Structure 1
Amino acid sequence: MKSKIPVTILFLPVIVALIAGLAVMTNFFSNALMLMMDRVNFIPEESSIFSFSPYEINQGSSSYWIYGEDGGNYYYFSHELVASYLFISKSNNCPTFDRLDFKTWCSAKRGGEK
């Protein structure tokens, strides 16, 4: 006699493993939490909720990112109305480049232009 286990119970471990993989291998959950907690936060258009990683956060009453990165670019939240952030390739040739000082980003591009 064959045991009839519902298909949903069979796939439950697979679904749990996929969710755990998303949590461990990407920035999805931390970015989703960041977006829900503070309306100022956003993910740059050139990046993704899965790959964007803020590495300097404002320490004031709002917890928005100041500097962030993904696989190909560095980002700076500029607070400007016209272009809300700057970004530069990680493979840039700026002679005095410092990822924590946007003033050294010699070939930065504007992102989020309105």
Structure 2
Amino acid sequence: MNDGREQSLHIRSMRRVRRLLPLLLACALVTGLFGARPQPAAAASCATSGPSTGTYLVTVCLTQPVSGALVSGDITVTASVTTSGAAPRVQRLIYSLDGTYLLTEFFSPYTFRLPTRQWLSRVVGDEPE
């Protein structure tokens, strides 16, 4: 019977500060953009991609929480999408964390609540190991 020890470990794990990946966004699925590989943008919390023809670019940024933020509990996650060139309209934004699907958002603002206690601690901006 380790009930006291297990309870102590549970309490300590609940108090730990949770950290998130900045790029919760797996990709912004845009008409004609399927198969494009995201490339890092200037900011650590953004990714830019486009078709191989280079006729347009789509940049997806995680605007909340900010890169490097320490978060815990239920947090609000917000993303923005900008396009340049002859870009088609954004159809939807798909959120994932460490390769695990979270949800699909069809309308701007692209915002949802994330219960951070379900994930291991990370610093926003870390790359997966």
* TM-score (norm. length: structure 2): 0.27
More strand by share: 2
More helix by share: 1
Structure with higher Rg: it is: 1
Higher relative contact order (CA 8 A, sep 6+): 2
